[in-house]
Amino acid sequence: MDVNQNFDQISHYLREYQLESIFPQQLLPHLLLFRFDPGELICFQGEQADALYVLVKGKVKIYTTTAEDKTLILSFKSPLEVIGEVEYVRGMENLNTVEAVSVVWMIGVQHRWLKKYGHAHAPFLQFLLEIITKKFTLKSNSLSFNLMHPVDVRLASYLLSVSFDESDSQLRGQLGTDQLIDAAHLIGTSYRHLNRVIQQMCIDGLIERSKGYIVVKDRAGLAAMARGNIYE
């Protein structure tokens, strides 16, 4: 993780996403720019939250872990997205774990500054309301996805979500085979069954195993298999 206070770059992102009026002027000097590399954790489930993040570049993965140490993927998010708004409003611990999939850039601000300068700023509160209601609308679909669709659909969706990001050319449609156990946990299946599904996808020409990676060969075919059900 890298943190800086590059005001020119922060201002660029605020303009790009029309967020200039969202944050009050008093809060602007307290905005920070965070950079996370792929695989880095941004928030960890159960830890006390102390900052709110606005995702402005890259892709993140959001998942939850049960008491039995099983993980369930909830969604993948691309800009513009907010991480930690519920935790800020309720003053609670992180509900989920958030992990960078690609190189991620986020504008972050500590809760103490938000409470001091943003708690009565109507544009900021309206922005949070819109974000929270949008997530509420999408939540039922995300939580039920693993229960309502077979493994091949879930894997197709997972590969499309984790292997491609239009803002990061390093995500070129491949997944390391060393990540397959985690992938099995995240989409709610066994490692053995996941390998059977991968083998069939290879036979069908959708993907192939190559030098330690699962490589997407037919993105359109995977999209058709996913039936429009993308974790994002």
pLDDT at 202: 95
φ, ψ (nearest 5 deg) of residue 43: -135, 145
**Strands (E) located in the chain:** 2-4, 32-36, 41-43, 51-57, 60-65, 71-77, 81-83, 97-100, 104-110, 174-176, 207-210, 213-216
φ, ψ (nearest 5 deg) of residue 60: -125, 155
The verdict on whether omega for the bond into residue 80 sits within 30 degrees of 0, i.e. cis, is yes
Q: Quote the mean pLDDT of the chain.
A: 88
Domain(s) labelled CATH 1.10.10.10 in the chain stretch across 149-226
CATH architecture of 149-226: Orthogonal Bundle (1.10)
Report in angstroms the alpha-carbon separations of 164 from 24, 129, 231.
Answer: 35, 29, 12
* 137-154 residue pLDDT tens: 776 666 666 667 889 999
* 174-209 residue pLDDT tens: 888 888 887 887 788 899 999 999 999 999 999 999
Residue 224 pLDDT level (bands cut at 50, 70, 90): very high
pLDDT at 162: 80
Q: Which fold has domain 3-143?
A: Jelly Rolls (2.60.120)
pLDDT at 125: 94
Enter the tokens of residue 36: 């996370």
Contact indicator for 76, 161 with CB cutoff of 8 Å = yes
Q: Which residue has the tokens 């330690």?
A: 212
pLDDT at 187: 82
Above 90 in pLDDT, residue 106?
Answer: yes
pLDDT at 148: 78
Domain(s) labelled CATH 2.60.120.10 in the chain stretch across 3-143
* 7-44 residue pLDDT tens: 899 999 999 999 999 999 999 999 999 999 999 999 99
Contact indicator for 151, 105 with CB cutoff of 8 Å = no
Enter the tokens of residue 179: 């990540």
In three-state secondary structure terms, 205 is: coil
Q: Tell me the C-alpha distance between 53 and 80, whole Å.
A: 11
Nearest 5°: CA angle at 20, between 33 and 97?
A: 40
Contact indicator for 229, 153 with CB cutoff of 8 Å = yes
Q: Tell me the C-alpha distance between 161 and 75, whole Å.
A: 9
Contact indicator for 107, 56 with CB cutoff of 8 Å = yes
pTM of the shown model: 0.77
Closest alpha carbon to 151 in 201, 116, 102: 201
Residue 228 pLDDT level (bands cut at 50, 70, 90): confident
* 59-104 residue pLDDT tens: 999 988 877 777 777 778 989 999 999 999 999 999 999 999 899 9
Say how many C-beta atoms besides its own lie within 10 A of residue 85's C-beta.
19
